[in-house]
Amino acid sequence: MSAPAQAWLERHAEALDTGEPEPALQLLPWLGAQGLLRIGVPGPLGGDGGTLGDAVQAIAGVARASLTAAFVFWAQRAFIEYLLHSPNEGLRERRLGALLEGRRAGATGLSNAMKFLSGIERLGVRARDGDAPWRLDGALPWATNLAQAGFDIALAVDRGEGLPPAVVALPSERAGLLRSADLDLIALRGSHTASLRLDGVEADASDLIHPVAGQYLPRVRPAFLSLQCGLSLGLAQEALARAAERLGPARAVLAQPLDEASTALQQHRDALLQGLADGRFAAQPAALFRLRIALAQDVQQALQLELLASGGRAYHRDPSLGFARRWREAAFIPIVTPSISQLQGELARQAQAQAAA
């Protein structure tokens, strides 16, 4: 980011976290104006080129200043990635331009679908009829980037016995798609996070991201989780940098654990980017699950070191320090879907299945 862009983000980080309306409304267009949403998107489709790893690092860079901004960035960029992998060219042509510019919000309602893919829970949305056009009923208890000005939401649909679940994109203006008030979160309140209810929402083939969720979701899961890892990466990097700034003779004992934590974080970052570059995560999702868990642990260690290095000063309610905000943000990392406990449970099930084979 440019210096003015970095300054804007740092200046509004506290307001984004507490949910002040004006910065929250400005955030998505700001991300678009900085060109951040185009990173890792092919040039012929309106992007700046580069790789998905570049997009992960861009999200990490934003997360260093504001996890709220990075969370919105993740949701928008994940939705963009869904369209890039969709065979529905018409849907992509209609939606992609406004998404890249930040004029339209994209919400990833596929957290439920990712858990469905791992056998953790059932799909929350069901079609009344198996064949299109459909009327959809159900609920999503949590979705982010549901901008009041309008959004598109990606979700998986149970089409009933004998038919594979499908993945669709629905506009917020569609009759029967009902958004709750923003959830009363302890942090990230400017992320436009709410729940959704579907009551007879009409959908047809033009809304399809992919007709077979079981084929599609494994292809986009590496992007979904890797982009999400950018949240942990940036937050941990910033906390470790702040801790390093505050080391002095009285806290020299922290130097070694700080070096060890920085080395571990760098190793996890490198493994994440290498796995994306060589494509291993599609065939080896467990490797990505372990990295997501490791990065979440890096965040907790980094914040603890920042606290110890800062001493009593960290306990002052001083927004300019940013510590209290980062402490609240860090509490979100283990529970963002798929949560650390869900990933650990999936890894345990895989280990049991391998042992029984």
pLDDT tens for each residue of 203-220? 999 999 999 999 999 999
- pLDDT recorded at residue 113: 80
184 within domain boundaries: yes
Same domain, residue pair 90 and 128: no
pLDDT of residue 169: 97
Average pLDDT over residues 260-289: 96
Q: Is residue 86 part of a domain?
A: yes
Rounded CA-CA distance 63/74 in Å is 10
Q: What is the DSSP letter of 6?
A: H
Widest pairwise Cα distance in the chain: 70
Tell me: the pLDDT tens digits for 8-32?
Answer: 999 999 999 999 999 999 999 999 9
Question: Confidence class of residue 252 from pLDDT cuts 50, 70 and 90?
Answer: confident
Share above pLDDT 70 across residues of the chain, in percent, rounded to a whole number: 99
Helix (H) or strand (E) run with residue 137 in it: strand 134-143
**pLDDT digit string, tens, across residues 178-203:** 999 999 999 999 999 999 999 999 99
Domain membership of residue 246 as a residue range? 215-351
pLDDT band at residue 287, thresholds of 50, 70 and 90?
very high
Q: Is 273 helix (H, G, I), strand (E, B) or coil?
A: helix
**Looking at the predicted structure, is the pLDDT value of residue 160 above 90?**
no
Q: How many CB atoms lie within 10 A of CB 286?
A: 13
Q: What is the DSSP letter of 158?
A: B
Query: What would you report as the CA-atom Rg of the chain, rounded to the nearest whole angstrom?
Result: 20
What 3-state class would DSSP assign to 198?
strand
Q: pLDDT at residue 325 above 80?
A: yes
pLDDT at residue 297, as a whole number: 98
CA–CA distance, 167 with 290 (Å, rounded to integer): 26
207 and 157 both lie in a single domain: yes
Residue finishing a domain among 166, 189, 213? 213
Tokens read off for 81: 């990635």
Give the total number of structural domains in the chain.
3
Domain shared by 223 and 343, yes or no: yes
Question: Does 64 score more than 90 pLDDT?
Answer: yes
Q: Is the pTM of this model over 0.75?
A: yes
* 207 & 226 share domain: no
The reply to whether 324 and 287 lie within a common domain is yes
The residue-averaged pLDDT of 67-95 equals 97
> Residue 65 is part of a domain; what is its CATH number?
1.10.540.10
Q: Domain for residue 317, yes or no?
A: yes
Cβ-based burial of 253 (10 A; exposed 0-12, middle 13-18, buried ≥19): exposed
Contact partners, residue 263, CB within 8 Å, separation at least 6: none
Please tell me the predicted confidence (pLDDT) of residue 300: 98
Q: What is the mean pLDDT of residues 106-132?
A: 82
Tokens of 316: 């002052």
Q: Does 357 fall in a domain?
A: no
